[in-house]
Amino acid sequence: MTIVTGVTVRVPAKLNLQLAVGPPRADGYHDLVTVFHAVSLFDEITAEPARRDGVSVSGEGADRVPADGDNLALRAVSALRAEVPSAPGVHITIAKRIPVAAGLAGGSGDAAAALVACNELWAGGFGPPQLAEIAARVGSDVAFALLGGTAVGRGRGEQLTPALAPATQYHWVLAFADGHLSTPEVYAALDRQRAREQVPAEPGLDPALMSALRSGDARLVGRALSNDLQPAALSLFPALRKTLAAGLELGALGALVSGSGPTCVFLAASADRALDLAASLSGAGVCRSVARASGPAPGAAIISGAR
């Protein structure tokens, strides 16, 4: 029998190429229709046997990640342990490159990676469908981080259908803001904005975006990006208007706030154009820092310590 002393899993950040938000439900959540897209900005999570569960975090925004029961990766560990009652304690080490509270689902990704790592460490034997079910109980974006690629999400985002699209690589520039936005606050701001207008219809998938993705034409994809949360995010963080405008002025094919923000994402026509755009945005003083990433990227995957 192979003894596994530690398992390391790499997990991607997610963008929402479309985020359509319905009215608030009785449980406080909103029904969503979203197109998730995983990109090559990764966190790495290592799970090692320990006397009791714990977590340590290093890297980007580490001081803002909870190290107690509120940590999503530890919640994922508890959810998996409910299915593997004999499982021993585990220490989770998170090396972050995905910024915290940035609209990139870094916390959800870490939870997905913890599920994959502990399933391996504990020889849980769960396949993707069972892990996806456990993931959906942990958080709305956790199941997508397991799947990766490009997928349509419904419900709270946990009901997933992979998008059938050619293997086009898209080149993105991510502009990280100097500040954070809380997802619940952004949804609350959206509800307040909408209360002044009329009640929104049920959310629907944008046929223009799906047809653009099927064509593999980055120009069409750039034109079809949309996010219902963007006006609410801009109302809470007005400086983002400048960031979005600067990226478009510098030649981005499309620009939007990612998820609940405050990260702004820009689609570039090629890897070279992404490099130029990142350098220009960096010099324009409209964000804290920039990163380049390509997508679609694979979901949470073991990179060392497998049986």
CB 106 within 8 A of CB 174: no
Among 43, 53, 110, 141, the active-site one is 141
Has 141 been annotated as catalytic? yes
Has 68 been annotated as catalytic? no
| Triad 179, 66, 131: Cα angle to 5° | 110
What are the residues whose beta carbons fall under 8 Å from the beta carbon of 221, sequence distance 6 or more? 17, 170, 209, 212, 213, 253, 254, 267
Nearest 10 degrees: CA dihedral of 294, 224, 186, 65? -10
> In 66-105, which ranges are continuous DSSP H helix?
72-81
Among 14, 43, 53, 228, the active-site one is 14
Q: Is 124 helix (H, G, I), strand (E, B) or coil?
A: coil
Give the number of C-alpha atoms closer than 13 A to the C-alpha of residue 174, restricted to the C-beta side: 27
In angstroms, the CA 249 to CA 213 distance is 24
CB 32 within 8 A of CB 16: no
Peptide bond before residue 262 is cis, with ω within 30 degrees of 0 = yes
- The sign one gets for the Cα dihedral 198, 203, 204, 208 is positive
Task: Return the active site residues.
Answer: 14, 141
